[in-house]
Amino acid sequence: MRDFVEFFGLNEDPFRITPDIDYFYMSSVHQEALGSLEYLLESEEGFAVIIGEPGTGKTITIRKFIHQLGDDVEYAYILFPNLSPEELLKAILEDFGIDVPSDSSKNKVFSLLRDFLIQKKSEGKKIVIIVDEAQNLPVETLEELRILSNMETDKEKLLQIILLGQPELEEKLESNQLRQLRQRITIITHLRNLSFDETVKYINYRFAKAGNPAVNISDGVYRLVYSYTEGNLRKVNLLMERALMSAFVENNQFIDNRHIKAAAESLKLRKKRSSVKTAVPAVFSVLLILLFTAGYYIYSISDDSVRKSVKEAEKKEVVQDKVSNRINDSKQMKVKAYMLNMREKPTKESEIVYLLKEGDTVEVVGRDGEWVKVKKDDIIGWVKEKYLSLK
């Protein structure tokens, strides 16, 4: 008996729900998340966090990252981690293939992990611990991860940690109990749903990967799919798979709005109502009020106030000119890392003052060994020179 895959000229189900890196779609936000994880490996940062609602692609993104790891990186992948601190340590060791005696104390387990990390570092290996669904971690277990991140040699960390979770994880990290852990997290990326244009490209990409880029689809289907799913990857996959089945049952190779609506009904999905019509008058009214208020305020300023403002502005211009003259001879460089932390002092332990991105231009205004002092707009901080290139 034929199934809908063969019926539509496909090699496999293009919208199966199981994460498959062969079907990883590189939207702008997923590219940013992947880039931030790659930067974690290149840098000496200890923690990275990926936050996203269910269905935004956290798991497939981390699997794509894992697939790209080189031979010099070993990792432990912990899923559904509702674990105590001791249970988490054991789970990490077991994922690395290390047997842990059942009667081992927490101190013994910690020592086993420390010895393993030191051995791997001596072999030139990087160790990454990945915790998925990390919003389920108890507070005391998250604190244990912070303690783990303290393990380092004189020059570098022994491990790096990646947490993936739903928005509840971010709320938990903002709690007073975890303030020390939150201060350690220097890389945090938020995944979002796809835009309408990205959703169209995503659907077509999936069809092409499955073997048929020319599946017949009604023009209105894409807009209808987006209205039901809002670009959520999991919902798009479920809806499109059901729609294909619905068309197959009709022996119809043309997918139209009827099939999308039937699929949405079976999945109990509801369309997002547009608020544009009601929002426009309200926004227009607010703008009118703001304009009237601003106009009244401007014309109520006295001449003395105006003259005072002009003098203040002139003083600022003079100061800015002096600053500009001092750094005119400084060298302009471009950031070549995907992301780069500007720090208050030339040490990796100092506070982060700004996050630079690949392609940003900075002015070098000082130097201290491998660190350079740079200026971005009005912000001055320190970065390692190896992450910069001549403009």
pLDDT tens digits, one per residue of 289-302: 444 444 444 444 44
Neighbours of 35 (CB within 10 A): 16
Greatest mean pLDDT range, 174-188, 226-240, 312-326: 226-240
The DSSP code for 70 is: -
Q: Quote the pLDDT of residue 52.
A: 97
For residue 349, what pLDDT is reported?
67
- What integer pLDDT is reported at residue 377 of this predicted model? 85
* pLDDT tens string 62-73: 999 999 999 999
Select the more confidently predicted residue: 151 or 21.
21
Q: Is the dihedral of CA 17, 18, 19, 22 positive or negative?
A: negative
User: 171 versus 273: which is more confidently predicted?
Assistant: 171
Token duo for residue 166: 């739903």
The backbone region for 193, taken as left when phi is positive above 0, alpha when psi lies in -120 to 50, beta otherwise, is beta
Give pairs for 325-332: CB < 8 Å, separation 24+: 327/363, 327/365, 327/375, 330/363, 330/364, 330/365, 330/375, 331/363, 331/364, 331/390, 332/361, 332/362, 332/363, 332/364, 332/391
User: Model confidence at 256, in pLDDT bands (50, 70, 90)?
Assistant: very high
* Residue 341 pLDDT: 80
Q: Which residues pair with 248 in a beta bridge?
A: none
Confidence bin at 303 (pLDDT 50/70/90): very low
What number is the average pLDDT over the span 257-286? Answer: 71
- Rounded Cα distance, 177 and 174, in Å: 8
- What mean pLDDT, rounded, does the chain reach? 84
Read off the pLDDT of each residue in 169-193 and give the average, rounded to a whole number. 93
Give the pLDDT band (50/70/90) at residue 338.
low
pLDDT at 330: 54
Higher pLDDT, 343 or 155: 343
pLDDT of residue 124: 92
* Pairing assessment for the beta strands 352-357 and 339-343 based on DSSP bridges: antiparallel
pLDDT tier at 325, thresholds 50, 70, 90: very low
pLDDT band at 307; cut points 50, 70, 90: very low
Diameter over CA atoms, the chain:
88
Q: What are phi and psi of 349, to 5 degrees?
A: -85, -15
- Whole-angstrom CA distances from 220 to 117, 193, 214, 249 are 55, 20, 16, 21
pLDDT at 287 over 70: no
What is the Cβ-side half-sphere exposure of residue 80, based on CA atoms within 13 angstroms?
Answer: 0
Tell me the pairing of strands 388-390 and 47-51: unpaired
pTM of the model as a whole: 0.72
The pLDDT confidence band at residue 275, using thresholds 50, 70 and 90, is very low
> Which pLDDT score, from 0 to 100, does residue 157 have?
86
pLDDT of 226 > 70? The answer is yes
Residue 274 phi/psi, 5-degree rounding, is -75, 135
